[in-house]
Amino acid sequence: MFDRLRNLMDSPLGAVLGGGAYGSWAVFANWFAGPDFALRIGATHFAMSTGLTLIGVALMNRLFRLARQPRTGAVLAFCGSMAVTYALLIGVHLAIGTPRIALTLAPGLIPTASFCVLYPLLLLRQARAAAAASALAPRHPEIRDEIPT
């Protein structure tokens, strides 16, 4: 089950679904500024959300592997991905003149934080399973080919 969840989080489909939801909200939250501007804000937010989801997975994987200990890697992956995500989102919305940045970003805070917590925890779980399997391998040579890499 966890592997399927991680695969969805890694996939372009998951990124597009999330981007579509947040882009639609951005249009709604900024509709008062006029339909053309709201649609431009929504399209920008869709592109950023989709791209950040795809890049965020790669970033979290990279940050996780930078640390010497898996737990430290999970913390680093969470903090780094949240910082990059919100620095880019806020920066781009300031650049395009989004009038209600906080309202535009608010619905995504809990799902983004959840994603940035859950994905490193999945990486941590995978690292611990690999370490446990490696520890068993010398005593049980028949499972060497089953050790995840």
Rounded to two decimals, the pTM is 0.75
How far separated are the first and last CA of the chain, in Å rounded?
Answer: 19
Kindly report which listed range (7-11, 29-33, 127-131) carries the lowest average pLDDT score: 7-11
Residue 54 pLDDT exceeds 60: yes
Three-class secondary structure of residue 69 per DSSP: coil
Q: What is the pLDDT of residues 121-135, one digit of tens each?
A: 999 998 988 888 776
Alpha helix ranges (H) inside 30-100: 35-66, 70-96
**How many Cβ atoms from other residues are within 10 Å of residue 138's Cβ?**
8
Angle between helices 101-136 and 35-66 (to 10 degrees): 20
Kindly report which listed range (22-26, 105-109, 139-143) carries the lowest average pLDDT score: 139-143
Residue 137 pLDDT exceeds 60: no
Cα 133 vs. chain centroid, distance in angstroms?
A: 28
Contacts of residue 26, Cβ cutoff 8 Å, sequence gap at least 6: 38, 41, 42, 44, 45, 46, 98, 104
Residue 97 pLDDT exceeds 70: yes
Residue 91 pLDDT exceeds 80: yes
Backbone φ/ψ region at 34: left (φ over 0), alpha (ψ -120 to 50), beta: left
